[in-house]
């Protein structure tokens, strides 16, 4: 069973076993749409170079968004890291666990309609 480290160092069950964090409004997202995105340590293990993703590279952008959507510990992390325009544009191209996709689309039906 997968585990991810929480901010305080405790182990939590991975995204397949817990409800995903979903903000109330997409307009609350205020992440950058270009440049480099450094994921927090609890979202991507290993050296810093594995946590820094180029948002201008489509594959790395999808990887960054998939990681944040699946591993964010709270909505504040999602708000800080994701951009609403980018999320809307790439939503259908993201490979997400069914539970994560269902939670997001039930809260934000406009994503499913695209």
Angle at 22 between CA 35 and CA 7, to 5 degrees: 70
> CB-side exposure of 101: number of CA atoms within 13 Å?
11
pLDDT value of position 2: 44
Q: What is the mean pLDDT of residues 53-63?
A: 96
Of all residues in the chain, the percent with pLDDT exceeding 70 is 83
Spans of all domains in the chain? 25-113
Predicted confidence (pLDDT) per residue in 39-55, tens digit: 998 888 777 778 899 99
Distance CA 18, CA 9 (A): 17
Q: What is the mean pLDDT of residues 99-108?
A: 95
pLDDT value of position 1: 36
Distance CA 20, CA 101 (A): 9
Q: What is the mean pLDDT of residues 96-108?
A: 95
Report whether pLDDT(67) > 50: yes
Predicted confidence (pLDDT) per residue in 10-27, tens digit: 455 454 566 789 999 999
Token digits of residue 17: 């076993």
């Amino acid at each position: 069973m997968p585990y991810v480290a929480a901010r305080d160092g405790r182990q939590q069950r991975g995204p397949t076993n817990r409800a995903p964090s979903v903000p109330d409004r997409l307009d609350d997202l205020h992440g950058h749409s270009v440049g480099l995105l450094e994921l927090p340590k609890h979202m991507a293990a290993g050296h810093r170079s594995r946590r820094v993703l180029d948002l201008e590279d489509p594959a790395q952008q999808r990887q960054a968004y998939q990681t944040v959507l699946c591993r964010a510990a709270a909505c504040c992390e999602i708000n800080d890291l994701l951009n609403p325009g980018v999320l809307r544009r790439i939503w259908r191209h993201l490979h997400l666990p069914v539970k994560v996709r269902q939670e997001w689309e039930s809260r934000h039906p406009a994503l499913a309609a695209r």
